[in-house]
């Protein structure tokens, strides 16, 4: 076979591959379930939580906090009499698919009302908050935790942390309704505070996953509450536990993140709690050994990618983008906020996509990222 013939065969083969590739690319689906990955946002991102954005985000928790179904109860039965609808066990937090999402859905509404009292839905929000967070309903919520031996650890510590965050937000809201709701919620906040103090000394090792049971996240939010609402015993318990768990950690492998279902960053959440319990000098020494990329601007992480936002587990990665942002914003004095802005912006426009898998909870994560961004400025 001549060299000319061989070259012609090669050219023909290349043209076939090129044509096939073009046909394949042209036939790719473009909906939420496609394999298309959104591009990473450019630098110099402009994002703002203004009234228009608040009106968009407030609809998500408002539409679900009194929506009892679908609901994932996480309820363990010890006897037949325990088999009731979630609304019986949780008359305050029966909406938004699960207990913890209902809790931080209420937090979202409180936060947005504080920041934007002129919201179009302000009256409706206040009505629903008052209905759900009544003294009677909270009493039933407290009662649930002693229902049987299994309910004692219900929502430990993720839901616990969000409950205390809700109570902290009420405490810092100068409004007559807030004072009433804070008083109503106090028995449950007191129960959870005591549960933390009882539980933490028994936890020999921290839980370092990127989902609900992550210990650093649970400690971080609870510490905020203890500091703001003047609970020194809880604050001391958390501080001692965090130092015991994390003080010797070095070289956190953030390049391993994220796992496929993460909505929290194990490395960044650990930095978040240690930033709070250590003084600035001690934190700088610890964190430069733990995650040096924060200090030399070599932190090489991109926003988590989501192909199918109708999948309740895969959509967790939108939450990861927001929670990474809220951990990074407070580090603005040593690390540019551009990376946090990229993460917040990447998922912000996509959380009101009409699918309940993400809509029932993601507004809270976006709003908390905005909150930390504002506080860091």
pLDDT in tens, 238-278: 999 999 999 999 999 999 999 999 999 999 999 999 999 99
User: Is residue 203 pLDDT above 90, yes or no?
Assistant: yes
In this prediction, residue 127 carries a pLDDT of: 98
Q: Cα–Cα–Cα angle for 37, 39, 42, nearest 5°?
A: 165
SS3 114: helix
- Over range 138-149, report the average pLDDT: 94
Say if residue 258 is preceded by a cis peptide, omega within 30 of 0. yes
| φ, ψ of residue 52 in degrees (nearest 5) | -60, -45
Task: Flag whether the pTM goes above 0.75.
Answer: yes
Q: What is the DSSP letter of 353?
A: S
State the Cα–Cα distance between residues 130 and 364, nearest whole angstrom: 19
Checking if the pLDDT of 32 tops 60, the result is no
> Lowest-confidence range among 15-29, 130-144, 310-324, 358-372?
15-29
List all residues 6 or more positions away from 8 whose beta carbon is below 8 Å from its beta carbon. Answer: none
Tell me, what's the pLDDT at 18? 39
Question: Residue 201: pLDDT band by 50, 70, 90 thresholds?
Answer: very high
pLDDT at residue 34 in the model: 45
Determine contact, residues 149/165, Cβ cutoff 8 Å.
no
More confident residue, 85 or 27: 85
Query: Looking at residue 38, what is its pLDDT?
Result: 63
Given pLDDT bands bounded at 50, 70 and 90, which one contains residue 336? Answer: confident
Q: Can you tell me which residue has the tokens 């909406």?
A: 95
Please tell me the predicted confidence (pLDDT) of residue 299.
92
Cβ-contact 207, 214 below 8 angstroms = yes
Structure tokens given for 195: 């549960």
Question: What is the pLDDT, as a whole number, of residue 12?
Answer: 42
Residue 30 pLDDT > 80: no
Residue found by looking up tokens 């490395």 in the block: 267
Tokens at 371, concatenated: 């909150």
Q: What is the mean pLDDT of residues 28-54?
A: 66
Beta bridge partners of 71: 97
| Percent of the chain clearing pLDDT 70 (strictly above) | 88
Task: Say which residue, 37 or 281, is predicted with more confidence.
Answer: 281
Least confident stretch, 24-28, 169-173, 227-231:
24-28
pLDDT, the chain, mean: 90
Q: Which residues of 92-112 are buried (b: 16+ CB within 10 A; e: fewer)?
A: bbbbbbbbbbbbbbbbbbbbb
Query: Is-contact 359 352, C-beta < 8 A?
Result: yes
| Residues in contact with 279: Cβ distance below 8 Å, sequence separation at least 6, in sequence order | none
Question: How far apart are the C-alpha atoms of 178 and 131, rounded to whole Å?
Answer: 13
Over pLDDT 90: what percentage of the chain? 79
pLDDT digits (tens, 9 = 90+) for 169-199: 999 999 999 999 999 999 999 999 999 999 9
C-alpha 42: how far from its chain's center? 24
38-47, 52-61, 73-82 — most confident range: 52-61
Residue 42 pLDDT exceeds 60: no
37 pLDDT above the threshold of 70: no
The mean pLDDT value for 151-180 works out to: 97
132 close to 65: Cβ distance less than 8 angstroms = yes
**197 is written with which tokens?**
């103090």
pLDDT at 41: 55
């Amino acid at each position: 076979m001549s060299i000319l013939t061989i070259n012609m065969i090669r050219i023909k083969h290349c043209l076939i591959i090129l044509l096939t590739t073009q046909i394949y690319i042209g036939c790719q689906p473009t909906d939420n379930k496609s394999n298309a990955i959104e591009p990473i946002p450019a630098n110099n991102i402009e994002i703002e939580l203004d009234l228009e954005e608040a009106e968009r985000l407030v609809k998500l928790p408002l539409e679900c906090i009194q929506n009892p179904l679908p609901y994932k109860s996480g309820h363990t039965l010890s006897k037949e009499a325990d088999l009731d609808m979630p609304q019986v066990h949780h008359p305050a937090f029966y909406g938004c698919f699960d207990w913890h999402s209902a809790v931080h859905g209420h937090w979202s509404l409180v936060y947005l009302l504080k920041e934007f009292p002129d919201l179009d839905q302000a009256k409706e929000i206040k009505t629903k908050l008052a209905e759900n967070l009544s003294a009677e309903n909270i009493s039933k919520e407290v009662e649930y935790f002693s229902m049987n031996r299994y309910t004692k650890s219900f929502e430990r510590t993720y839901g616990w942390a969000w409950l205390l965050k809700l109570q902290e937000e009420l405490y810092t809201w100068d409004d007559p309704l807030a004072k009433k709701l804070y008083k109503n919620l106090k028995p449950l906040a007191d129960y959870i505070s005591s549960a933390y103090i009882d539980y933490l000394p028994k936890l020999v090792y921290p839980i370092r996953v990127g989902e609900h049971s992550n210990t650093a996240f649970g400690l971080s939010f609870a510490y905020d509450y203890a500091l703001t609402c003047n609970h020194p015993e809880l604050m001391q318990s958390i501080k001692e536990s965090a130092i015991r768990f994390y003080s010797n950690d070095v070289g956190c492998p953030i390049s391993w993140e994220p796992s496929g279902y993460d909505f929290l960053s194990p490395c960044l959440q650990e930095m978040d709690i240690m930033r709070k319990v250590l003084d600035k000098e001690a934190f700088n020494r610890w964190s430069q050994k733990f995650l040096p990329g924060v200090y030399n601007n070599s932190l090489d992480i991109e926003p988590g990618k989501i192909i199918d936002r109708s999948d309740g587990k895969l959509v967790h990665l939108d939450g990861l983008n927001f929670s990474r942002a809220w951990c990074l914003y407070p580090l603005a004095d040593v690390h540019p906020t551009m990376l946090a802005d990229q993460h917040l912006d990447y998922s912000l426009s996509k959380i009101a996509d009409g699918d309940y898998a993400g809509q029932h909870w993601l507004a809270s994560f976006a709003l908390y990222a905005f909150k930390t961004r504002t506080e860091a400025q």
